[in-house]
Chain A
């Protein structure tokens, strides 16, 4: 029992981080069709913002979450205005352009903050661990899980129950017709990109106390996040949650029985096989053909 619960918790912890990173990616890809390879760098920038705010301005991690969201959303806004908006007609080229942006972001951070590893301190209030059915789990990881779920709920609420979300869904179905009904699709796209970038920044800030912060940290996240989006189906927000849950638990389970590397390889292999038979993802309903 204790072992099962502790296994489940490990999986959930991996899943919550996956979900935080993948949520922004899923929104951007689902709405605009842009393959954002710079997403990992958005995560990295979020982590560096957390480090900067903590060491230079003495701001705690929790207090700096809102400023970090705003900074990264602004960054995403600018990137969209400068580069991405010219590429909506060429989806494959967005892969190339965003990767170039990622390289620049990495190098810019290396030049300004240095290439060495940085560490962010965990909020003192959450440094303890909690006992659940005999298994112990760090309070901070549970906090991430809670926050990831609330962010998802917020996104879902915006998507389903606000007029902005309505416009978003209209554009996703057919951009031209939505535009002819007076929806400013360029502005909706830009806001979407900014929102996705902001969430990526939050993800980076939240993982920063768990892992060391380095300019290269984004690369590992972006591949994993893509797998989540592909598995869940790009059009489905619930798919993103479900597939991060599945991938998290699966990685945790396999890692327990072999090692981390083999677990990761097996999970990737499983996803590759899945794309072959269900390219639309596990949870995506067929909208139109």
Chain B
């Protein structure tokens, strides 16, 4: 099976992508651009996370930003405690706590003095949150639209609580004025190639980890659940357990993306777990192709890239959101499998093989609500 099989081709494609993003700093010596591209790569990672749960398990998570934000806050708490005391007020307290008359470091802040703890928490806190939410939803056999609405509502709740608890979270302003991320003697300046490499390496690792999951037996069962949940249940599989698993993995990846985002942006804010970001992730994945991990990542890169370019140019400064919205509606209407789906169809036609399924075939997961049957 020397690089001929379909899966070997796929592996090569993924490898080529990872090498390509790792080579970028060799040709680019602009700190500002590197920072911008690191941001796009973080978004790509977030898109991969959603593709795992939405494309492969049929769980439309409208609250993907919740877990992203949780990861981001974990990292911000650690970096805030790492700042020199001048910035952190008396006795090592973060400045916003001093302004809010907090006299003692809250118990849940204290462990974040340790970077290792923060790194573990940044992945485990979102994953646990998702596992609990997933246990709650999937054990009760909540599917389709209702699952989407629950994830959305859960995000609004977390967002409201973070904004309300200003004394402990910095409230509306978030956590700003952070130290540089340092680990194992290396320090990562947000405007340098080191941070870019960190993000690119993490994205490559996440891509291959996700690819491995989707190719494993678990991945196959998840795709079966996406297409015909009841049938898989009748075979005796614990459907809820599989869904909870992938939901938690997706959340852990989103948490990692959140941590990297804080390193790149040098702050954490409640907008990181807001409705606009969460819906943007859905757009990226839909445009790129929800059933392809690489497609989702490319979708994020393309959409955020175009968005960045349009919003900076004079002529489109005002109207880029209008264009994005229009493009998105057209994608949903004509390319339900996104760019990856269109690409697959083209290559199939190019190789003169019988084109498998037309791109407009009925969507899996689309039958989640059978309408008019009293739920």
Measured CB to CB, the residues of A under 8 A from B are 32-33, 35, 83, 86-87, 89-93, 95-97, 99-104, 106-108, 110-111, 171-175, 219, 223, 226-227, 230, 233-235, 259, 261-262, 264-265, 268-269, 271-272, 275-277, 279-281, 284-289
24 interchain pairs, CB-CB under 8 A = A33-B371, A90-B362, A91-B368, A92-B148, A95-B62, A96-B283, A96-B286, A97-B333, A100-B283, A100-B328, A101-B325, A101-B329, A103-B321, A107-B322, A111-B322, A172-B372, A173-B372, A226-B152, A265-B164, A269-B157, A272-B157, A276-B136, A279-B141, A285-B374
A275 touches B145 (CB 8 A): no
Q: Does B12 contact A (CB under 8 A)?
A: no
A38 → chain B, closest Cβ, in Å?
A: 10
Centre residue among A86, A107, A226, A269 by max chain B CB count within 10 A: A107
Partner of B322, one of A108, A286, A288: A108
Which of B336, B362, B372 counts the most chain A CB atoms within 10 A? B372
Residues on B with beta carbons closer than 8 Å to the beta carbon of A269:
157
Q: Using Cβ atoms and an 8 Å threshold, which residues of chain B touch A268?
A: 153-154, 156-157, 160
CB-defined contacts of B136 to chain A, threshold 8 Å: 276
Inter-chain contacts of A284 with B (CB < 8 A): 374-375
Residues of B within 8 A of A233 (CB): 375
Cα distance, A265 to B144, chains bound together (Å): 23
When C-beta atoms are compared, the residue in chain A nearest to B274 turns out to be A219
List chain A residues, Cβ under 8 A from B328.
96-97, 99-100, 103
Instruction: Say yes or no for B366: interface residue by CB 8 A criterion.
Output: yes
Are the CB atoms of B374 and A286 closer together than 8 Å? yes
Q: Is the CB of A107 within 8 A of B321?
A: yes
Q: Is the CB of A219 within 8 A of B365?
A: no
Determine whether B344 belongs to the interface, using a CB cutoff of 8 Å to chain A.
Answer: no
Q: Are A265 and B366 in contact (CB under 8 A)?
A: no
For B158, the closest partner residue in chain A by CB is A265
Chain A residues with Cβ below 8 Å from B371 are: 32-33, 91, 172, 175
CA A276 to CA B331, docked complex, whole Å: 33
Given the complex, which residues of B lie within 8 Å of A89, measured CB to CB? 362, 366
Determine the chain A residues whose CB is within 8 A of the CB of B325 once the complex forms: 100-104, 107
Interface size on B, residues (CB 8 A): 50
Task: Check B19 for interface membership: any CB of A closer than 8 A.
Answer: no
Cβ A93 vs Cβ B363 within 8 A: yes
Tell me, rounded to whole Å, the shortest Cβ–Cβ distance linking B13 to chain A. 26
Q: Are A223 and B333 in contact (CB under 8 A)?
A: no
Known: A107-B325, A285-B374. 17 other contacts (CB 8 A): A33-B371, A35-B145, A92-B368, A99-B279, A100-B325, A104-B321, A107-B322, A171-B372, A172-B372, A226-B152, A227-B153, A265-B164, A268-B153, A275-B146, A287-B372, A287-B374, A289-B374
Which of A92, A171, A285 sits near B60, CB closer than 8 Å? A92
Say yes or no: B160 contacts A92, CB within 8 Å: no
Residue-by-residue, is B335-375 near A (CB-CB < 8 Å gives 1, otherwise 0)? Answer: 01000000000000000000000000011011011011111
Report whether B333 and A86 are in contact in the complex, using a CB–CB cutoff of 8 Å: yes
Chain A residues with Cβ below 8 Å from B156 are 223, 264-265, 268
Taken together as a complex, chains A and B put the C-alpha atoms of A265 and B156 apart, in Å, by 8
Q: Is the interface of B mostly helix, strand, loop or mixed?
A: helix
Complex contact A234–B333 (CB within 8 A): no
Closest to A95 in B: B148
Query: Which B residue sits closest to A172, measured CB to CB?
Result: B372
Cα A259 to Cα B279 with chains together (Å): 28
Q: Which residues of A contact B179 (CB under 8 A)?
A: none
User: B329, A93: Cβ atoms under 8 Å?
Assistant: no
Residues on A with beta carbons closer than 8 Å to the beta carbon of B322: 103-104, 107-108, 111
State whether A279 touches B375 (Cβ < 8 A).
yes
**Nearest chain B CB to A78's CB is how many angstroms away?**
13
B373 and chain A: residue at smallest CB distance: A288
**Complex: chain A residue closest to B137, CB-CB:** A276
> B329 contacts which chain A residues (CB < 8 A)?
83, 97, 100-101, 104
- Which residues of the partner chain B approach A289 to less than 8 Å between Cβ atoms? 373-374
Question: Which one of A90, A262, A281 contacts B336 once the chains associate, using CB atoms below 8 Å?
Answer: A90
In the assembled complex, which residues on chain B have CB atoms less than 8 Å from the CB atom of A219? Answer: 275
Name the CB-closest residue of A to B321. Answer: A107
Which listed residue, A102, A104, A288, touches B374 by the CB 8 Å rule?
A: A288
Cα distance, A208 to B107, chains bound together (Å): 45
Tell me, in angstroms, the Cα distance from A207 to B270 when the chains sit together.
27
A44 CB to nearest chain B CB (Å): 14
Q: List the B side residues contacting A93 at CB < 8 Å.
A: 332, 336, 363, 366
Residues from chain A with Cβ under 8 Å of B318 in the complex: 110-111
B319, A279: Cβ atoms closer than 8 Å = no
- State the CA gap A288–B370 with chains docked (Å): 12
- Please state if A275 and B336 are interface contacts (CB–CB under 8 Å): no
Question: B142 at the A/B interface (Cβ < 8 Å)?
Answer: yes
Whether B373 lies near A287 (C-beta < 8 A) is yes
Please give me the residue from chain B that is nearest to A216 by CB atom.
B276
Q: Which interface residue of B142, B275, B363, B374 has the most chain A CB atoms within 10 A?
A: B374
Is A265 within 8 A of B332, CB to CB?
no
CA distance A15 to B336 in the complex (A): 38
| A32 / chain B contacts, CB cutoff of 8 Å | 371
Contact check, A265 vs B157: say whether CB atoms are below 8 A apart. Answer: yes
Taking the closest CB of chain A, its distance from the CB of B7, in whole angstroms, is: 28
Q: Could you tell me the distance in whole angstroms from the C-beta of A140 to the nearest C-beta in chain B?
A: 28
